Amino acid sequence: MKILHLYSDWKWTGPAEPALNLCVALKKFGHDVTFACGKAMDDYPFPPDSESVEKSAYERGLVPVTKFKLNKHFRFFQAMSDLKKLIAFMDNEAFDLLHVHRSYDHLVGGIAARRAKKFLPIVRTNHDGVGLVRGLRNTICITKLTDALIDVSEEARKVDALNFRLPDGAIFRIDASIDCERFRPQNDHSSFRKKLGIGKEDIVVGIIARIQTHRRFDVLLEALKIARREEPRLRMLVIGRGTKEKQLLTDPARKMGLSDAIIHTGYRTGDYVDVVSCMDFNVFLVPGSDGSCRAVREVMAMEIPVIAANRGMLPEIVDHNTTGLVIEDTSENLATAFVTLSKDESLRKRFAKASLEKAQEVFSLEPMAKRVEEVYEKLLS
């Protein structure tokens, strides 16, 4: 199959990684995949220090097409320019199918596909764990410019089917995937724990999140304070950055007497997997810009159990009392969960083993790409 993927943004955030990973996996299956995305600036191929989709595409062996604007936000004249160029591009390249990932590329790419000389089935992936907003643009895109919709959660699938009146044959639930080869169990993390100042006896609960008000750091810190009264070995590893770091993390931790219990590594790139491996268990409360909660899947693939809030699609990812704990995330409930996993090493190991098994069976790239390929084949048949 000759497939065109459109991604309307240049920033390496949100669903960029799942979209690129899918393209890489489809190429390994032998398909002819073209990936087009937004461009950070006019420099070619990209600024060397950029965190861009374009840069990440090159790193994965893809040569992205960046001759379209493909902005995240709709701008009329740029959209008209993209529409004209996309129609010509589709006619010249004779693609078999179009796969879109965001609202702008869905609208402009979908209209272009409908106006191209050759009929192109259109597939949209909703990368968020919740249903699409039932606004005018989404209604037009889903009902007029979509032949198959892929949702990454069952909750989203049900909402989208109801809101847009989609038949079962046009909507699919396919789990978001992660690179299980990159995120795999680390046999020995003792040297990196030492590098971060983590003692041999310390029990580390980790969180991967931007430091923002809605990520509930106040609840986390209160839970840590309560839990340490019973389990003083407990420390919290925070991976992430944010403009409100001092307001939401540093100052409250100092006032609560938790400064020594917090290990804040900031945003990590090259050693990200090493830092994550230092966790004994992970906590995840609120989805961020990546609505599919990719960080949860990554730590599970690294054989790390998760405490998850009973919110959104998290209970679909974390199986309560099997791969971790799913709780109503009050400070008291979190503290109880922290203490339970801190004191029971055998329980942590049981959850960790089950997490790894689920990640390899459900979240790895190949099963996800195979199911997407089946959607393509159904449309083209």
Q: What is the pLDDT of residue 341?
A: 96
Q: What is the pLDDT of residue 209?
A: 87
Same domain, 155 and 39: yes
Our count of domains for the chain comes to: 2
Question: Percent of the chain scored above 70 by pLDDT?
Answer: 96
Answer whether residue 313 shows pLDDT above 80: yes
Same domain, 288 and 368: no
Answer whether residue 48 shows pLDDT above 70: no
pTM comes to 0.86
Answer whether residue 45 shows pLDDT above 70: no
Same domain, 333 and 269: yes
Interval 149-196: pLDDT, tens: 999 999 999 999 999 998 888 999 999 888 888 898 887 777 888 899
Question: Residue 338: which pLDDT band, with cuts at 50, 70 and 90?
Answer: very high
Answer whether residue 211 shows pLDDT above 90: no
Token pair belonging to 96: 């078999």
Tell me whether residue 183 is in a domain: no
Tell me whether residue 206 is in a domain: yes
Q: What is the pLDDT of residue 312?
A: 85
Answer whether residue 330 shows pLDDT above 90: yes
Tell me whether residue 185 is in a domain: no
Same domain, 319 and 214: yes
Same domain, 288 and 150: no
SS3 readout for the chain: CEEEEEECCCECCCCHHHHHHHHHHHHHCCCEEEEEECCCCCCCCCCCCCCEHHHHHHHCCCCCECCCCCCCCCCHHHHHHHHHHHHHHHHHHCCCEEEECCHHHHHHHHHHHHHCCCCCCEEEEECCCCCCCCCHHHHHHHHHCCCEEEECCHHHHHHHHHHCCCCHHHEEECCCCECCCCCCCCCCCHHHHHHCCCCCCCEEEEEECCCCHHHCHHHHHHHHHHHHHHCCCEEEEEECCCCCHHHHHHHHHHHCCCHHHEEEEECCCCCHHHHHCCCCEEEECCCCCCCCCHHHHHHHHCCCCEEEECCCCHHHHCCECCCEEEECCCHHHHHHHHHHHHHCHHHHHHHHHHHHHHHHHHHEHHHHHHHHHHHHHHHHC
Tell me whether residue 73 is in a domain: yes
Same domain, 358 and 369: no
Tell me whether residue 294 is in a domain: yes
Which residues form the domain of 64?
2-177+364-380
Q: Long-range contacts for 268-273 (Cβ within 8 Å, ≥24 apart)?
A: 268/239, 271/192, 272/239, 273/182, 273/183, 273/186, 273/302
Same domain, 194 and 172: no
Q: What is the pLDDT of residue 219?
A: 94
Contact 192, 270 (CB under 8 A): no
Beta carbons within 8 Å of 180's beta carbon, 6+ residues apart: 301, 359, 360, 363, 364, 365
Same domain, 91 and 228: no
CATH number (domain holding residue 355): 3.40.50.2000
Same domain, 137 and 158: yes
Q: What does the buried/exposed string (b/e) look like for 125-151 if buried means 16 or more CB atoms within 10 Å of the residue's CB?
A: bbbbbbbbeeeeebeebbeebbbbbbb
> ∠ at Cα 115 (112, 119), nearest 5°?
100
Q: What is the pLDDT of residue 213?
A: 83
Tell me whether residue 184 is in a domain: no
Q: What does the buried/exposed string (b/e) look like for 191-215 if buried means 16 or more CB atoms within 10 Å of the residue's CB?
A: ebbeebebeeebbbbbbbbbbbeeb
Tell me whether residue 182 is in a domain: no
Same domain, 99 and 28: yes
Same domain, 355 and 227: yes
Average pLDDT, the chain: 92
Question: Residue 46: which pLDDT band, with cuts at 50, 70 and 90?
Answer: low
Q: What is the pLDDT of residue 289?
A: 63
Same domain, 110 and 50: yes
Average of pLDDT values for 235-262? 91
| Among 48-52, 101-105, 347-351, the least confident range | 48-52
Interval 261-301: pLDDT, tens: 999 998 888 889 999 999 999 999 987 666 678 899 999 99
Q: What is the pLDDT of residue 114?
A: 97
Tell me whether residue 220 is in a domain: yes
Q: What is the pLDDT of residue 42?
A: 60
